Homo-oligomer: A and B are copies of this chain.
Amino acid sequence: MRAFIFDVFGTCVDWRTSVAREVAEVFPEVDALGFADAWRGEYQPAMERIRAGGRGYVRLDVLHEENLVRVLDRFGAHCNDLSALNRAWEKLDPWPDVVPGLKALRDKALIAPCSNGSIGMMARLARWGGLPWDAIVGADIAGDYKPKPAVYLRSAEVLGLAPGDVTMVAAHNDDLKAAQQAGLRTAFVARPEEHGAGQESDLVPNGDWDIVADNFVDLARRA
């Protein structure tokens, strides 16, 4: 049985409005969507230091909490329980097609998140949204962050599969490009509202991906 592995933030779940909802509960006076965007804006720089070797591997939960401190400061907000607010990233709603699509795909393949999120985050996120994963692969398995090739290769390896028997699914062309270069198959599903109404990135596929699907239910049909 082959496998489909999935980017999660943006591809499976709507992190932006979900994080904003949690922020609004704690800080009703703050621009919650702006806060969510700022928090997510710290994501790539924090991982980049680790990818570049300037810092040993640290789980994304920890990076998120460090980033939260900076964003709180920028918004002039104060939070008594950082780790409770940090769990906003474990309460992200799946896009409506995700659960039915994954359930259908599960009849044809093993399915697992291949996220930069930790195994614990992914497990709690699966509970929150009812995501029926067979396993969890990704950054924690490799001790490094996507798009480093080790994350895709090690994820295939621990599943006991050759890279060519694994399809990476993402709403982000750069994730698929890295997966393809590592020898995996690729599937693109656009998420034009990930960044809100003004989104300009990743509206269309811009590589030679093996599958381009409208949503996860369509993906299951084409798989």
Contact residues in B for A123 (Cβ distance below 8 Å): 110, 112, 134-135, 159
* B-side contacts of A121, CB under 8 Å: 160
Chain copies in complex = 2
Contact with B along A52-83 (1 / 0, CB 8 A): 00000001010000000000000000000000
Question: Which residue on chain B has the smallest CB distance to residue A143?
Answer: B143
- Measured in the bound complex, the distance between the Cα atoms of B157 and A59 in whole Å is 9
Which chain B positions have C-beta within 8 A of A140? 141, 158
A159-173 CB contacts (< 8 Å) to partner B: 159-161
Q: How far is the CB of A206 from chain B (nearest CB, A)?
A: 32
A157 to B58, CA, bound (A): 11
Whole-angstrom distance between the alpha carbons of A159 and B120 in the complex? Answer: 4
Question: A136 — nearest CB in chain B belongs to which residue?
Answer: B135
Q: Which residues of B contact A141 (CB under 8 A)?
A: 119, 140-141
- Which residues does chain B contribute within 8 Å of A136, judged by CB atoms? 135-136
